[in-house]
Structure 1
Amino acid sequence: MTQFTVSLATQPASSGWGESALLSFTEHGATIHLPERGDGLLTIQQAARKLDGLSIPEVTLTGEWQFEHQWAFALSFTRARNPATIHFCDNGDKERIQQCYEAMLFTRKLVNDTPEDLSPENLAQRAAEWIKSLSPDAVSYSMTTGEELAEAGWIGIYNVGRGSDRPPVLLELDYNPTGDANAPVTTALVGKGITFDSGGYSIKSSEGMLDMKCDMGGAATVTGALGLAISQGLNTRVKLFLCCAENLISGHAYKLGDVLTYKNGVTVEVVNTDAEGRLVLADGLMAASETNASLILDAATLTGAATVALGNDYHAVFSMDDRVREAMLECAKAESERFWPLPLEQWHKDRCPSPFADTANSRPQKGGGGGGASNAAGFLARFVDPQGKGWIHLDLAAAYHGKGTAEMPVGASAVGIRSIAALLRQQG
């Protein structure tokens, strides 16, 4: 079969293709016409979406493509169902772009899979096996499952997941390339892995529930980022914690008005069973803190409030540590990924008051009320260093697109894996 080639041009398309045409075609492929000003990335993404709509089985990028141009094309051309094959340019960036692309494919596949296929145990197992396949001798892992969670005191994950017949899981994975069992942990990653979120007794609408297979996007993103960093030569010790559960309704499900007592003594009144992500992340953050890692990063599709603030274009960054927040933002800028800081202060810890416990898990109003994303981050701040030193919370507003756009396909984006991988490599 003749290869379908895609090249770039700095000259406009001939008038026959229309005014300011993104694309022109030849017998063997297409040319993307870059604008006179700017980096051309948006143009490449829009052209890639149009080409993807032609259901071409595979394309070959030819000519002069910079790394970011190839990455922009890959992000937009790779649809969720039966994605086409991309043959990247055989230049100095080929190994790097292939590493990023494989991590993107893994991350997107994990998020886009059906909730029936992706149980909490399946999510934990697939994440662990993929990471181990990248560096078999440096990776070990364990899983705490079902009633074992209650016995071990991981009551957030246990209670959120106990309404399902498929048990919740805490995955602890240790990537230690040093060979020294006493090597310090430089970074601990924590991911929200809610494989399906009905909202529990605070049940979502049918429309609101449709895309809730994506509520494990945080777990997928930190796993994809760690895998990418390993393929890029990460040489420091990192631990990964995935907090995996299904939030379903049953006679055994947790209820509004329940009070949970965490391992660190914090008591939490459940005023919204649909604010479950922060309940599971609390366990993961405490487990991460036990490693004495110099950096703790958690990632979650946590609040609709972050999406209201930033749309589906940026990930929200929260930290009370100016140094690590700036490091995250600098990595994102260097990797051409969109991250944006939102406010987090000590007093956000108290923005969800409860007369029955130290705190509630939200405010008893739709979406948690004004400042909901910051209030959720404030809740999480109770489970890390009291001053927030060395901790970053990412609310992944750009992790998933329920509807396709002119630039992005429907489904998981995998945006963020490059920036987090870069931050991991920085910690050495």
Structure 2
Amino acid sequence: MNIMTVTLTTEAPAEHWGKADVTYQGTKATIHLSGGDELRQVQMAARKIRTQGINYVQLEGGLWNLHSQWAFAQGFATAKTGYQVDWCGSDADKETLNHRAVAAQFARKLINDTPEDLSPLSLANQAASWLKNIGGDHVSFTIVEGQELLEKKWVGIHAVGRGSERPPALLELDFNPLGADAPVSVALVGKGITFDSGGYSLKSSEGMLAMKCDMGGAATVTAALGLAMKEGLNKRVKLFLCCAENLISGRAFKLGDILTYKNGTTVEVVNTDAEGRLVLADGLQAASETGAGLIIDAATLTGAAVMAVGSNYNAIFSPQMATLQLAQKSAAAVSENVWPLPLDAWHKDMCPSAYADTANSRPTKGGGAGGASNAAGFLWRFVSPEANWLHVDLAAAFESSASPLWGAGATTHGVLTIAELLKD
């Protein structure tokens, strides 16, 4: 196997290399740091090395640290397997990096999987199996599927998924290392739309092509929990994955339908492509029922969030300033990017309906102005007022095509932030 060693230097390249930020000598590559955002420079350099056909690298030298090695690995990763990064530095850093790599690879594989191979039930089962393998007897779970969802009044997941031949499902998983009567510290909720056609609010072919990634929230919270467990998490956490395919058929939900949720809230469907918030409403109610002090949901929810913060930040929302600050602190600790967007009580009323308590969107393209905040306001209706709540709109979870920082496909950006929040 051909191995290229990669080192860091703060020295400029030799004159004949011009302004190159990566230079080569035999089987050695050198990344030339020029000040400023060095992690970004490292990640971009990793992309360049990878796109030149290099599959196996050994990081070497005293300038590497935990953050720069992870930045390199993120830039080096691709949807296609068959590559490897060997770490350097302390045994503690190597162990942390290995744990991160396992969690990220789990999330990346799920998100990049084809919609045919990853059904709602498959997503729920794979997530439960992976966490069970990590947590052993501390992990228990149930999967509610198909018509049973209606019997338990999980109307959003059922409505969105009923147009598919493959049944929708809600995974309810409990990680409890403390004993039967332990309180639930955190509840995680993930959007698990394994494919989103838009339903009768049909997407274009270009808009639909990447919609295998619409379960990115479910993959992100699952991978985050698994990573925290690997790093010794010692608190009770419950996980809820809201899994469905949003397809068109004679059974599919329609514009003008009204859903009555478990908490009594009625919702008029004005856009079947605003389906993520419909399934998350069930998950947030289930999370609220646990009595958890902190509820975190993650979802590839709105294009509006991407327009607001771009694809290198995840947008965050919370009614509590302290929760936003904790999320920012956690993201900074692991060198990920989050940015808070507005969420006020009046955002709950920004999707009015003449027929129900609220609509699931506004009947305009993209949900109109402030679409990401309006979506968060909708979700807020389903969160216990006693809980601290963080909503993560995963603008940075997926790249439709390769960029200077990321290979095409899943980025797993957000996994480390939520794992850090679990530890805090």
Q: Give me the TM-score of the superposition, normalised by structure 2.
A: 0.98
Q: Is 1:222 aligned to 2:221, yes or no? A: yes
Distance 1:2 1:27 in 2: 11
Alpha-carbon displacement from aligned partner over 1:289-341 (angstroms, at most 9, x marks no partner): 00000000000000111011111011111000111111111111111111000
Aligned match of 1:420: 418
Alpha-carbon displacement from aligned partner over 1:201-242 (angstroms, at most 9, x marks no partner): 000000000000000010011011101101111000000000
Aligned match of 2:117: 117
Distance 1:246 1:2 in 2: 43
Identify the range of structure 1 (414-423 vs 90-99) with the bigger mean alpha-carbon deviation: 90-99
Aligned match of 1:162: 162
The letter of the residue matching 1:322 is: M
Distance 1:38 1:99 in 2: 28
Aligned match of 1:320: 319
> Does the 8 Å contact 2:21/2:32 carry over to 1?
yes
Aligned match of 2:388: 390
* Structure 1 gaps, min length 5: none
The letter of the residue matching 2:139 is: V
What SS is found at the alignment partner of 2:130? Answer: helix
> Does the 8 Å contact 2:44/2:404 carry over to 1?
yes
Q: How far did residue 152 of structure 1 move?
A: 0.9
> Does the 8 Å contact 2:291/2:387 carry over to 1?
no
Q: How far did residue 198 of structure 1 move?
A: 0.2
Q: Give me the TM-score of the superposition, normalised by structure 1.
A: 0.97
Identify the range of structure 1 (66-75 vs 80-89) with the bigger mean alpha-carbon deviation: 80-89
Alpha-carbon displacement from aligned partner over 1:378-408 (angstroms, at most 9, x marks no partner): 000100124x740111111001011211111
Distance 1:58 1:23 in 2: 16
What SS is found at the alignment partner of 2:396? Answer: coil
What SS is found at the alignment partner of 2:218? Answer: helix
Q: Is 1:43 aligned to 2:44, yes or no? A: no
Aligned match of 2:310: 311
The letter of the residue matching 1:27 is: G
Aligned match of 1:32: 31
The letter of the residue matching 2:46 is: A
Alpha-carbon displacement from aligned partner over 1:317-376 (angstroms, at most 9, x marks no partner): 100011111111111111111100000011111110101100000000100000000100
What SS is found at the alignment partner of 1:307? Answer: helix
How many residue pairs align between the two structures?
422
Distance 1:148 1:175 in 2: 23
What SS is found at the alignment partner of 1:421? Answer: helix
The letter of the residue matching 1:63 is: G
Distance 1:47 1:335 in 2: 20
Q: How far did residue 55 of structure 1 move?
A: 2.2
Distance 1:280 1:39 in 2: 38
Distance 1:424 1:13 in 2: 42
Q: Find 1:58's aligned residue among 43, 56, 59.
A: 56
Distance 1:193 1:101 in 2: 22
Q: Is 1:191 aligned to 2:171, yes or no? A: no
Distance 2:111 2:37 in 1: 30
What SS is found at the alignment partner of 1:419? Answer: helix
> Does the 8 Å contact 1:228/1:421 carry over to 2?
yes
Distance 1:145 1:83 in 2: 36
The CA RMSD over aligned residues, in Å, is 1.0
* Structure 2 gaps, min length 5: none
Distance 1:66 1:85 in 2: 18
Q: Is 1:399 aligned to 2:411, yes or no? A: no
> Does the 8 Å contact 1:321/1:389 carry over to 2?
no
Q: How far did residue 56 of structure 1 move?
A: 2.0
The letter of the residue matching 1:135 is: G
Distance 1:291 1:2 in 2: 52
Q: How far did residue 38 of structure 1 move?
A: 2.5
Aligned match of 1:350: 349
Aligned match of 1:14: 14
The letter of the residue matching 1:343 is: P
1:100-249 matches, cutoff 5 A: 100-178=100-178, 180-249=179-248
Aligned match of 2:260: 261
Alpha-carbon displacement from aligned partner over 1:91-129 (angstroms, at most 9, x marks no partner): 241111111111111111110111101000010111111
Aligned match of 1:365: 364
> Does the 8 Å contact 1:186/1:236 carry over to 2?
yes
What SS is found at the alignment partner of 1:185? Answer: coil
The letter of the residue matching 2:256 is: G
Q: How far did residue 138 of structure 1 move?
A: 0.8
> Does the 8 Å contact 1:348/1:378 carry over to 2?
yes
Q: Is 1:302 aligned to 2:301, yes or no? A: yes
